Amino acid sequence: TRQICILAFKIGDWLTNLINPTLGGLIAMLSMSRVPIDRWIRFIFPIFILLMIFSFITLTLAVSINYNWIILNVEGILSKLVSFPILGGQSNISILTWIKEYIESYGVEVHLVPNKKEKKASLHCRIGPAEDCGVILSGHMDVVPVKEQDWTSDPFTLTNKGDGKLYGRGSCDMKGFLACCLAVLPKMVSNDLKTPIFFAFSYDEEVGCIAAPELAKAIKNYYTEKPKYAVIGEPSMMEPI
């Protein structure tokens, strides 16, 4: 993953600084102690070799478990999504960018469907093979206003009050569903799916489902394979409609 590459780069940069000091603190320490650079290299080289071996083992383990800095549980993802105060009709670029980068960090290609002014966009992607009979998981990124509502907590901070519920604007409608989709993405990617799963996340649903038709059209035109089902994660008291 991209996070493993970043980890490898940071480890390499850190190890390089041990042999060829460029960090201000390390340079200052060597200068104040008047340690010649050749003496420093003789001292640090055995430690450098041990650290290289340890780093190699660390990166090997990271690859084997599909390590990712931003693996989050569903509550953690929901907390992040709720923190974006994107109302219907507003630009959704901030939440869109976060979701897009999260999905892409697992090696999944994401496609955007922007509006004419490019201030908003829907997204779609496919996880799994290019086969017919897949399932679309669909939701929207915007929420309804909170003005003049009697909130006892910050509506854009996910709050656990200890009653088994999570409070925040959109926690049900419908960032909760988006969080579930994103939380299970690592398992989707790591499993050998026989049929594909699609994500289709839109904007401006709360002001008339404005983006949904263009998103549906974009999905139909982009993929040669035909999905068979769609799950729309709107809150319905857990009753299918």
Is 205 one of the annotated active-site residues of the chain?
A: yes
Is 173 one of the annotated active-site residues of the chain?
A: no
Give the relative orientation of helices 175-190 and 93-104 as an angle to the nearest 10 degrees: 20
Q: Which of 101, 118, 131, 142 is catalytic?
A: 142
Cβ-Cβ contacts under 8 Å for 104 (sequence gap 6 or more): 2, 110
3 φ, ψ (degrees, to nearest 5): -65, -35
Q: Which of 173, 204, 205, 206 is catalytic?
A: 205
What tokens does 94 get?
Answer: 């901030």
Per-residue exposure over 169-182, b if at least 16 CB sit within 10 Å of its own CB, e if not: bbbebbbbbbbbbb
First CA to last CA across the chain, in angstroms?
Answer: 38
Q: Cis ω on the peptide bond leading into residue 29 (within 30° of 0)?
A: no
Beta-bridge partner residues of 143: 87
Q: Spell out where the chain has E strands.
A: 110-114, 121-127, 135-140, 159-160, 166-167, 197-202, 229-232
Q: Which residues are catalytic?
A: 142, 205
